[in-house]
Amino acid sequence: MRFLEIILVVVNFGLLYWVFIRRKKASTNIVSLWPLAVGYFMVIVQMVAEGVSWRMIPAYLTPVLLTAYLYVKRKNIKPRKWYVLTIQTVLLTVYLAITIIPPIVMPVFSFEKPTGIHSVGTVSYHWTDEKRKETFGIDPEAKRELMVQVWYPANEESEKRTNQYMRDVPEKEEGMAQLMGLPDFMMSHLGLVRVHSFSEGILSDRQERYPVLIFSHGNAGNRNQNTFQVEELASRGYIVVGIDHTYNAGATVFPDGRTVKYSTEDEPNTLAEFDERMSIWSEDVTFVLDQLEELDKGGEDDQFKGRLDLEKIGMFGHSYGGATAYRMLLQDDRVKAAINMDGSLFGGPVPEKSVQKPLFLMYSASSLDVDRFEADLDEITPEEILKQTGRNREALEKDFYDLMSRYEKVVTSGALSLVIPNSNHTSFTDLNLYSPLMRAKGEDTVQIHLLVNEFTLAFFDQYLRGTDDNVLKQLGAKYPEVHFQSK
């Protein structure tokens, strides 16, 4: 809960308990008005200073309850029995619980401040690949359109008010809520979350050119889902380019107002289908790399002219985006190093010489837990497995063990790896900040984000900037619990 949210609840419920226990009589005496004045004042202050949120509706109603209790006409107030007082206190306590649960379960969270020397600017682009037709949608002649956001080191003197967490907040909130099976309004509080980057910043003149990192979200995610990571990297002197993979992102909003939500059309279910989908995502990244070359020539935005170090390009991604980063490392010479965060290695069989360039695999312990996978299947009947997945147990096991085999082959071929305990699939994103209910047992999301950022920065610094190659090993010693494995 935010500071004023806490103060609002403490003050107003303190007043409620005080008034109920004292059984204050209805009165027009100005002195009796002060509890109401304080109650309404606290609601107004919180709304104005921190913003109105559905999560606080029960708290906003506390002065209304005070009004009803104090000023409903009553002729005689008889002494209460002890059990009546007990029941009233219990009911009020239940109401208090109902009040504090929503803001605790769905907090308006804050991002840790980036630690680099640069402020962080951001700008978005709408790019259309005229060479490709859109695979999804109803228009057979439509071209593939992408929304791309760039985070970059900015001069401090250009800093303005920081942005909302997500651009086009209502549309993305609705898309995210629908994917999570929640009513649309339940994600509206994300509009109150602010980030440390700002629009219209001037690219920092501390360096002539900056290395470039491409970010690819997970299936049904979005380009903003790893804000904790992209802002930190930009503050450390990287230009980070996030892609919304249209129709596979939770929601993509174009400048003309069109909103494209996640498409369930031909949604992959088998390993073969996920392998096939990889061609669309990798072609998206190839197109964005081509556009960055044009941007460096001065197209569309002069401030990036001659400022992108296209000889030092890395890529990182989460889940399916992590698999895309791995595939781009294999197939595009422009990508010099890549990080796959908890992504199965989709895209086809692993080549015999699978790791010829620097690759870093970051995984949650749960994603590699074979025993847990088998135990989960053992808990449900074959009929339920078929009903839930459309496939039998043998098919699920074959795909799982094929993916595990790919992982083991890549690791033994020389990839760096770490496995984070007390984490889950979404620990590598902002999503576990959304609610403690999303976190693994014993998870410290802020601490996980910290170590992910440290390892990410050390990896790209070493393989794109040529800095100290001992930093990664030092981090492995600093965080022995993550089981870091280097070459």
| 153, 206 Cβ separation under 8 angstroms | yes
Domain with CATH 3.40.50.1820 in the chain: 119-482
- Digit-coded pLDDT (tens) for 37-68: 899 999 999 999 999 999 999 999 999 988 88
Which of 66-70, 71-75, 215-219 has the highest mean predicted lDDT (pLDDT)? Answer: 215-219
- 188 touches 54 (CB < 8 A): yes
Q: For 399-427, what is the mean pLDDT? A: 94
Measure the CA–CA gap between 451 and 440, rounded to whole angstroms: 16
Q: Does the pLDDT at position 159 exceed 90?
A: no
What is the band of 26 on the pLDDT scale with cuts at 50, 70, 90?
A: very low
DSSP assignment string, 255-296: TTS-EEEPP-TT---SHHHHHHHHHHHHHHHHHHHHHHHHHH
Longest Cα–Cα distance of the chain, Å, equals: 89
Taking the alpha carbons at both ends of the chain, their separation in whole angstroms is 44
Span 136-155, average pLDDT? 94
Share of the chain above pLDDT 70, in %: 93
Superfamily of domain 119-482: Alpha/Beta hydrolase fold, catalytic domain (3.40.50.1820)
Higher-confidence position of 201 and 180: 201
Mean pLDDT of the 266-285 span: 93
- Asked whether 291 and 241 are in contact (CB, 8 A), the reply is no
Burial class of residue 155, CB neighbours in 10 A (0-12, 13-18, 19+) = middle
Tokens, residue 186: 């339940």
Closest CA to 312 of 294, 292, 283, 291: 292
Of 198-202, 291-295, 305-309, give the lowest mean pLDDT range. 198-202
Nearest to 341 by CA among 434, 226, 227, 249: 226
Quote the pLDDT of residue 79.
62
Query: pLDDT value at position 20?
Result: 74
| pLDDT, averaged across the chain | 89
Asked whether the predicted pLDDT for residue 19 surpasses 90, the reply is no
Backbone φ and ψ for 133, nearest 5 degrees, come out as: -85, 150
What does the chain come to in residues? Answer: 487
The answer to whether 126 touches 58, Cβ cutoff 8 Å, is no
* Arithmetic mean of pLDDT, 354-366: 91
Q: Which two tokens stand for residue 26?
A: 């209805």
Q: Is the pLDDT of residue 131 over 90?
A: yes
